[in-house]
Amino acid sequence: KTTKYREQYQPSSYLIDRVDMLVELFESHAEIHSCLALRRNPLFTGAVEELRLDGEELELKSIAVNDQALPLSGYELQDAHLVIRQPAESFTLKTVVQIKPQDNTRLEGLYKSGSKFCTQCEAEGFRRITYFLDRPDVMSVYDVTIRADKNAYPALLGNGNPAGSGELPEGRHWARWHDPIPKPCYLFALVAGDFDLLEDSFTTMSGHPVALKIYVDKGKLDQCAHAMRSVKKAMQWDEEVYGREYDLDIYQIVAVSDFNMGAMENKGLNIFNTKYVLANEMTATDADYDGVEAVIAHEYFHNWTGNRVTCRDWFQLSLKEGLTVFRDQQFSMDMGSPTVKRLDDVRVIRTAQFSEDSGPMAHPIRPDSYVEMNNFYTVTVYNKGAEVIRMLHTLLGADGFRKGMDRYFERHDGQAVTCDDFVQAHADANQRDLEQFKRWYSQAGTPVINVSDHYDAANQRYTLTLKQHCPATPGQKEKQPFFIPFKIGLLDKAGNDLPLNWQSKDADDQAIYGREAVLPLQRAEQQFVFEHIGEKPLPSLLRDFSAPVKLRYDYSDEQLAFLLANDSSLFNRWDAAQQLVSRVMLNAAEQFRAGEEMRLPAIVTEALAAVLDNHQLDNALRARLLQLPDIGYLQELVEKIDIDALVAAQQFIKRRVAETLYQPLRDCFQRVRGATGLDGDSAGRRALANTCLGLLVDSTDAEAYQLAHAQLHEAKTMTDRFAALRALAHSAAPNRQQALDDFTHWYVDEALVMDKWFTVQATAPLASALQEVQKLEQHSAFDAKNPNKVRALWMAFSHANPAGFHRADGAGYQFIAERVARLNQSNPQLAARLVSAFNRWKRYDDDRQQLMLKELKALLTQSGLSPDVFEIVSKSVE
Q: Which is nearer to ligand B3K, 318 or 566 (CB)?
A: 318
By beta-carbon proximity to Zn ion, the closer residue of 259 and 841 is 259
Candidates 88-96, 313-321, 570-578, 601-609: pick the segment binding Zn ion (CB under 5 A). 313-321
Distance CA 199, CA 215 (A): 9
Give the binding-site size for Zn ion (rule: CB under 5 A): 2
Q: Does 258 bind ligand B3K (CB under 6 A)?
A: no
The residue range among 225-233, 294-302, 456-464, 561-569 that interacts with ligand B3K, by the rule CB under 6 A, is: 294-302
Our answer to whether residue 299 is catalytic in this structure is yes
Catalytic one of 108, 299, 372, 855: 299
Q: Does residue 273 touch ligand B3K according to CB under 6 A?
A: no
Instruction: Report the candidate in 669, 706, 674 with the shortest Cα–Cα distance to residue 688.
Output: 669
Per CB under 6 A, does 264 bind ligand B3K?
yes
Measured in residues, the chain has a length of 878
Q: What is the DSSP string of 453-522?
A: EEEETTTTEEEEEEEEE---BTTB---PPP-EEEEEEEE-TTSPBPPEEEEESSS-PPPEEESSEEEEE-
Neighbours of 864 (CB within 10 A): 8
Q: Which entry of ligand B3K, Zn ion, none binds 797, CB below 5 to 8 A by partner kind?
A: none
The counts of H helices and E strands in the chain are 29, 33
* Residue 720 interaction partner, one of ligand B3K, Zn ion, none, beta carbon < 5-8 Å per kind: none
**CB 319, min distance to ligand B3K, A:** 12
782: DSSP letter: -
Q: Does 308 bind ligand B3K (CB under 6 A)?
A: no
- Rank residues 484 and 830 by Cβ distance to ligand B3K and give the closer one: 830
**Residue 804 CB, nearest distance to ligand B3K (Å)?**
28
Q: Does 309 bind ligand B3K (CB under 6 A)?
A: no
Question: What burial letters (b/e) apply to 598-621, b meaning 16+ CB within 10 Å?
Answer: bebeeebbebbbebbeeeebbbbb
356 binds ligand B3K (CB under 6 A): no
For position 299 contacting ligand B3K by CB under 6 A, the verdict is yes
Q: How far is the CB of 108 from ligand B3K (least distance, A)?
A: 8
What is the DSSP-derived secondary structure letter of residue 93? E
Cβ-based nearer residue to ligand B3K, 107 or 517: 107
Q: Give 217 or 321: the residue with its C-beta nearer to ligand B3K.
A: 321
Cα-trace Rg, the chain:
28
3-class DSSP string for 389-414: HHHHHHHHHHHHHHHHHHHHHHHHCC
The least distance separating ligand B3K from the CB of residue 264, rounded to whole angstroms, comes to 5
- Residue 412 near which of Zn ion, ligand B3K, none (CB within 5-8 Å, type-dependent): none
Nearest to 62 by CA among 131, 115, 117: 131
Q: Could you say which of 128, 298, 347, 673 contacts ligand B3K (CB under 6 A)?
A: 298
Among the listed residues 790, 797, 788, the one whose alpha carbon sits nearest the alpha carbon of residue 770: 797
Min dist. Cβ of residue 324 to Zn ion (A): 5
Helix, strand, or coil (residue 263) = strand
User: Degrees (nearest 5) of the Cα angle 212, 382, 348?
Assistant: 105
**Least separation, in Å, of the C-beta of 307 and ligand B3K?**
10
Nearest approach, Cβ of residue 219 and Zn ion (Å): 29
**Quick check: helix, strand or coil at residue 31?**
strand
252 binds, among Zn ion, ligand B3K, none (CB under 5 to 8 A by kind): none
Strand partners, 186: none
Piece in contact with Zn ion (CB under 5 A), picked from 320-328, 353-361, 443-451, 540-548: 320-328
Q: Please, which residue, 266 or 339, has the CB nearer to ligand B3K?
A: 266
Which span (40-48, 261-269, 500-508, 670-678) binds ligand B3K, by CB under 6 A?
261-269
Question: Which stretch, 151-159, 318-326, 602-610, 756-764, contacts Zn ion (CB under 5 A)?
Answer: 318-326
Q: Can you name the residues that pair with 33 across neighbouring β-strands?
A: 22, 96
What residues numbered 368-397 form the site for ligand B3K, per CB under 6 A?
Answer: 374, 377
Q: Which stretch binds Zn ion (CB under 5 A): 324-332, 424-432, 506-514, 515-523?
A: 324-332
Cβ-contact 450, 467 below 8 angstroms = yes
226 binds, among ligand B3K, Zn ion, none (CB under 5 to 8 A by kind): none
Q: Does 261 bind ligand B3K (CB under 6 A)?
A: yes
Q: What angle do CA 61, 172, 176 make, to 5 degrees?
A: 75
Indicate the residue among 377 and 482 with the shorter CB distance to ligand B3K: 377
122 near ligand B3K (CB under 6 A):
yes
**Whole-number minimum distance, CB 377 to ligand B3K, in Å?**
5
Residue nearest to ligand B3K (CB): 122
Contacts (Cβ under 8 Å, ≥6 apart) of 697 = 658, 704, 705, 707, 708, 727, 728, 730, 731, 733
Q: Is the peptide bond before 687 cis (omega within 30 degrees of 0)?
A: no
Q: What is the DSSP letter of 148?
A: E
Q: Determine how many CB atoms are found less than 10 A away from the CB of residue 52.
A: 16
Residue 296 contacts ligand B3K per CB under 6 A: no
Q: Which of 134, 321, 387, 618 binds ligand B3K (CB under 6 A)?
A: 321
Report helix, strand or coil for 851: helix
Angle between the 643-660 and 602-613 helix axes, to the nearest 10 degrees? 50
- Spell out the SS3 assignment of 611-631: HHHCCCCCHHHHHHHHCCCCH
Q: Which is nearer to ligand B3K, 80 or 96 (CB)?
A: 80
**Segment interacting with Zn ion (CB under 5 A) among 319-327, 328-336, 517-525, 746-754:** 319-327
Smallest distance from ligand B3K to CB 260, Å: 6
Beta bridge partners of 711: none
**Minimum CB distance to ligand B3K, residue 263 (Å):** 6
Q: Min. distance of Cβ 354 from Zn ion in angstroms?
A: 21
Q: How far is the CB of 640 from ligand B3K (least distance, A)?
A: 33
> For Zn ion, which is the closer residue by CB, 270 or 324?
324
Verify binding: residue 123, ligand B3K, rule CB under 6 A.
Answer: yes
Q: How far apart are CA 542 and CA 422, in angstroms?
A: 26
Closest CA to 612 of 551, 666, 676, 568: 666
Considering the rule CB under 6 A, would residue 137 count as an interface residue with ligand B3K? Answer: no
How far from 121 is each of 59, 135, 185, 659, CA to CA, in Å?
Answer: 18, 11, 7, 53
Angle at 742 between CA 740 and CA 747, to 5 degrees: 95
* C-beta of 263 vs 396, nearer to ligand B3K: 263
Q: Which of 75, 78, 77, 97 is nearest to 87 (CA)?
A: 75
Using DSSP's 3-state secondary structure scheme, residue 643 falls into helix
How close are the terminal C-alpha atoms of the chain, in Å? 18
Residue range at the interface with ligand B3K (CB under 6 A); choices 99-107, 262-270, 767-775, 834-842: 262-270
Q: Which residues bind Zn ion (CB under 5 A)?
A: 321, 324
Q: Which residues bind ligand B3K (CB under 6 A)?
A: 122-123, 261, 263-265, 298-299, 302, 321, 374, 377
Catalytic residue positions, numbered: 299
